[in-house]
Amino acid sequence: MLLRFRVANHRSLRDEQTLSFVAAPRRGEQKRKGAVIPRTVSAAGIYGANASGKSNVLDALRWMSRAVKSSHTTWAPSGGVPRRPFLLDETGRKTPSFYEVDFLDEGVRYSYGFEIDDENVRGEWLYSFPAGRPRTLFERNGPEDYRFGRSLGGETARIAKLTRGNALYLSSAASNNHPLLGALYETLAEKVHFAEQDHFDEQARLSATMSLLEHPRAARDVNELLRLADLGLESAEVVRREIPPEVLTSFRRLREAVRESGGDFATDEEQFGKEIRLRRAGTDVTLDIREESAGTRVWLSMLGYTLVTLLAGHLLVVDEIDSSLHPVLSSTLIRMFKDPEINRTGAQLLFASHDTTLLGTMLADDTLGRDEVWFTEKDANGATSLFPLADFRPRTDENIERGYLQGRYGAVPYLNFDKVREIFRGMEPRLDEPSA
């Protein structure tokens, strides 16, 4: 379970920014004495103008997760660190980038983070808080200077010698079978699922849905959710198709090239020979999923990630959750995470969106609470600020959707329509049009 994420010097996030899943105190709520784990929310949405940095917040978390997963195994030994600093001034290029997460694992709170520059890991740390008391597991100052806490155990010194200057110790420890650090690696690298609205990412999500459709019980649940979406579909099924040998050879070459470059290639060879076909309600006609609308594909592809996340208690991060989806469907995804009868594992959803209906009460009274809404805004230098709606202390009965669109909380684009009119007023008639 994610509690907080802090980042600095990643793309437009020049200065340190914090995203929190810790719930805002309710009015009249007293701080719980002896509380070790704070109360959290299960969903958080980020709003802001185009190019304000919403996606960069999600990208920073994704970059950190991938660094933990692959820095030891796929980053080139002499290739430095493939970071993404703020590039609009020289300070960003010269300043280290910073990433840190506070999270829960097996009921214990941890804080893990690191600093990097273009060449090496400048610092890395991991603390635990059993019974609320801080305990150092390890600290790293520079590429090779380590200090290990007595409670960590394992072959810490040997793993340190195997860790390159441009690789994370946590990544190296997992690769060398350290029991505790391997478990925390799993939490940060494998239990966070990312969804972006592009073709390759959609194919990865469809692969997850395909895996569920191949298990009868899971397929029943997927198809029921498909029918409930009112898309005119009765069911989805997985069928195998014949792949020409030359196509299969090209697929293998592409897969190896992507993996060697450190990228994710979710489709394996067995999945490559399969496809999803959809049966229309009231007919025996089945269609390839590629013949369906973008909204249908997005809904079906999101079902796999959503069900896996909810059943396993993971974190799902979705950019543009409203892309090609009707507001009722995107709000349904959010409400699934917020409903305690559905979400019994503590799963979480983090998303970016432009759909302001999710801020209002037209779809549901509790789609997003005041401590579940965040805003991004860029300053004149192109640097992003991230801040919560809770900072504005909105009234319980306040229309959040209207207030946001009216600019009450900032994070909206300003466009002077009189200037737009002036542009068109000065345009010359098209030369290929006859004059009146």
Whether residue 270 sits in one domain with residue 406 = no
Domain of 223, in residue numbers: 199-312
Instruction: Flag whether 422 is in a domain.
Output: no
Query: One digit per residue, pLDDT tens: the chain, 436 residues?
Result: 899 999 999 999 999 999 999 998 766 555 555 456 788 999 999 999 999 999 999 999 999 999 999 999 999 998 899 999 999 998 899 999 999 999 999 999 999 999 999 999 999 999 999 888 899 999 999 999 999 999 999 999 999 999 999 999 999 999 999 999 999 999 999 999 999 877 778 888 888 898 899 999 999 999 999 999 998 999 999 887 777 677 677 767 877 776 666 565 555 656 666 889 999 988 988 888 888 888 899 999 999 999 999 999 999 999 999 888 888 899 999 999 999 999 999 999 999 999 888 887 666 666 888 899 999 999 999 999 999 998 888 777 787 878 877 788 888 777 788 888 888 887 776 656 555 5
Q: Are residues 178 and 318 in the same domain?
A: yes
For the chain, the domain total comes to 2
**262 assigned to some structural domain:** yes
**In the numeric block, which tokens belong to residue 283?**
């007919």
Same domain (yes/no): 321, 308: no
Same domain, 145 and 224: no
Q: At CB < 8 A and 24+ separation, what contacts does 93-98 make? A: 93/118, 95/9, 96/9, 96/122, 96/123, 97/7, 97/8, 97/9, 97/10, 98/6, 98/7, 98/8, 98/9, 98/16
Amino acid 71: pLDDT: 95
Q: Considering the domain boundaries, does residue 423 fall inside one?
A: no
Residues 262 and 279 in one domain: yes
Same domain for 187 and 279: no
pLDDT of residue 34: 47
Q: What is the pTM of this model?
A: 0.87
325: burial class by Cβ within 10 Å (0-12, 13-18, 19+)? buried
Please indicate, yes or no, whether residues 95 and 82 belong to a single structural domain of this protein: yes
With respect to residue 425, please indicate whether it lies within any of the assigned structural domains.
Answer: no
On whether residue 436 sits in a domain, the answer given is no
Same domain, 359 and 372: yes
Residues in the chain: 436
3-class SS letters over 4-58 = EEEEECECCECCCEEEECECCCCCCCCCCCCCCCCCECCEEEEEECCCCCHHHHH
Residues 324 and 286 in one domain: no
Residues 176 and 206 reside in one and the same domain? no
